[in-house]
Structure 1
Amino acid sequence: MTVQRILSWTPAAIVFDCDGTLMDTECHWQDARISALRAFGFIPAPGFAERAKGLHYTECGALMAEEAGHPELTAGLTERLLADFRALAEARPLTMPGAPQLVEQAARFAPLAVASNCPREVVEASLSTAGLLHRFGHVVVPDGPDDRDGIRPKPHPDVYLTAARLCGADPADTLAVEDSHCGVEAAERAGMRILGVGPWPGDRTAALVDLWVRSLDEPAVRGWAGARVPAQIARNRPTMNP
């Protein structure tokens, strides 16, 4: 990992993943996957949670049906998965440690966007409940499954490329903040520098990021963001003629 590619650098834009990065919703997705499978009489296979993490919910529904041996149940499992997740997320919205503070600081020196595999209404409702939605200039999510020429879900790079373009930044000058291999792969394909967050993901994922931290509340992250704010203010201050 090239740590200094992050800690000594000021990005032109920052694009955050939502689930597991800004909002503590991975537990809700995990519970929703289990409840959806049980509603159809199945139980998750070993390792299913890791295979499903970060997938678009439609792809997750297809994966559940495939692993259950009943691909004809894809639509029903997908619908139940999303309904169960929405109920859980609305009942217990939680932010990830350090996420609100980092967003508040980052919004002072760079345009911000969200790139998520979740439905737009779910992302916006979660961020609004957390008081963070107004900090993001753009929320980018995949187009519907019937729109084959639109924005594809992660691990395709589309959501990240679109978010950088909307922020007016080159992808190479943009920082992606991610927690899953699926999302990290999307950001890497987009050509961004990547800050990974969460439990150690293993060498395969870590090899794709510039810096991996356990939490956005770590001193290194807080110090990096805090140091960017006065520098940006100084650059933006008008020069006084003598």
Structure 2
Amino acid sequence: MTLHRILSWTPAAVVFDCDGTLMDTERHWVDARQRAFDEVGLSPSAGFAERAKGLHYTECGQLMADEGGRPDLGRDLAERLLRHFLALVSDSPVTMPGAREMVEAAAAFAPLAVASNCPRDVVETCLDNAGLLRHFRAVVVPDDDAVRPKPAPDVYLTAARHCGADPADALAVEDTHCGILAAVRAGLRVLGVGPWPGDETAALVDLWVETLDDPRVGGWATERAPLRATAPLPAAASRPAGAVFPAAAH
């Protein structure tokens, strides 16, 4: 029997999405979008929630404006969206099922990074509140210069480089079509997580699980921890644009 492409492999780095993958904050984006729509008296068309999932908040704001028939309100809606989200997320969001265990097990055998479309302060605050930020060598988010948001590959390319790993030797953990496209375009293997996304999205990943507490994933990560004693971790690369070290951020 052929061994599984993920479960028979030890990545040189693991790069996690944050929203909906590590932290249960997607519900806050849903609520924030609805509040922003209500404030300006607009309504989205059918299927909007799925199209908006995983987008950078500026792109989501423009999508909201376009679908509401007021493209001129893109910047205003993006600002409203972010303001409402920050207010909602301040209540210390919880981790997704199995996320804490997966991070702790993976940190025992590979350098870790986060590649997110969320604002940096949101990602770092969420992970710090959950006690997970210390496990990550870098947090990579879009910026105005060199790092474009997902579905561009930039955040994953930057995260892999910062971990000292070739993208082909790194694993991405993602929950959205937008994020999966970014990881695939960057050349990473992909572990998809969440409700079944449909055949089109599932075809892009190497393995899909409903949650990170799936026994196959937990067993795979735990079994790889002893490898750290015999195989040195990749050396840290130079600090690229878009990355920040947790130790330097606090």
**Superposition TM-score, scaled by structure 1 size:** 0.93
| 8 Å Cα contact 2:54-2:178 kept in structure 1 | yes
Listed one character per residue, the Cα deviations across residues 159-215 of structure 1 (whole Å, up to 9, x for unaligned) are 000000000000000000000000000000001100000000011111110000000
| 8 Å Cα contact 2:111-2:136 kept in structure 1 | yes
1:204 to 2:200 alignment: yes
Query: In the alignment, what sits opposite 1:105?
Result: 105
> What is the CA distance between 1:3 and its match in structure 2?
7.4
> What is the CA distance between 1:76 and its match in structure 2?
1.0
Aligned match for 1:187, one of 179, 183, 189: 183
1:155 to 2:156 alignment: no
| 8 Å Cα contact 2:11-2:170 kept in structure 1 | yes
Distance in 1, matches of 2:160 and 2:100, equals 21
Query: In the alignment, what sits opposite 1:31?
Result: 31
Q: 1:208 to 1:3 in 2, by over 3 A?
A: farther
Query: In the alignment, what sits opposite 1:227?
Result: 223
Distance in 1, matches of 2:38 and 2:231, equals 56
1:89 to 2:89 alignment: yes
Matches within 5 A, 1:119-130: 119-130=119-130
| 8 Å Cα contact 1:34-1:44 kept in structure 2 | no
Q: Indicate the SS of the match to 1:108.
A: coil
> What is the CA distance between 1:235 and its match in structure 2?
4.2
Distance in 1, matches of 2:6 and 2:229, equals 20
Distance in 2, matches of 1:18 and 1:71, equals 29
Amino acid at match of 2:39: A
> What is the CA distance between 1:138 and its match in structure 2?
0.2
Amino acid at match of 2:175: D
Amino acid at match of 2:13: A
Listed one character per residue, the Cα deviations across residues 43-81 of structure 1 (whole Å, up to 9, x for unaligned) are 232111000000000000000000011111111111000
Unaligned runs of 5+ in 1: 237-242
| 8 Å Cα contact 2:92-2:126 kept in structure 1 | no
Q: Indicate the SS of the match to 1:6.
A: coil
> What is the CA distance between 1:92 and its match in structure 2?
4.3
Q: Indicate the SS of the match to 1:131.
A: coil
Query: In the alignment, what sits opposite 1:66?
Result: 66
Query: In the alignment, what sits opposite 1:138?
Result: 138
Distance in 2, matches of 1:151 and 1:234, equals 35
Distance in 1, matches of 2:27 and 2:69, equals 25
Distance in 2, matches of 1:8 and 1:224, equals 8
What is the root-mean-square deviation in Å for CA atoms of aligned residues?
1.2
69-78 or 106-115, larger mean C-alpha shift: 69-78
> What is the CA distance between 1:233 and its match in structure 2?
2.6
| 8 Å Cα contact 1:3-1:210 kept in structure 2 | no
1:213 to 2:209 alignment: yes
**Superposition TM-score, scaled by structure 2 size:** 0.90
Distance in 1, matches of 2:94 and 2:69, equals 34
Q: 1:210 to 1:3 in 2, by over 3 A?
A: farther
Count of paired positions: 231
| 8 Å Cα contact 1:157-1:186 kept in structure 2 | yes
> What is the CA distance between 1:231 and its match in structure 2?
2.8
Q: Indicate the SS of the match to 2:90.
A: helix
- Give percent identity, aligned residues only: 68
| 8 Å Cα contact 1:3-1:211 kept in structure 2 | no
Amino acid at match of 1:138: A
> What is the CA distance between 1:230 and its match in structure 2?
1.8
| Stretches (4+) displaced over 2 A | 231-236
Q: 1:88 to 1:3 in 2, by over 3 A?
A: farther
Q: Indicate the SS of the match to 1:114.
A: strand
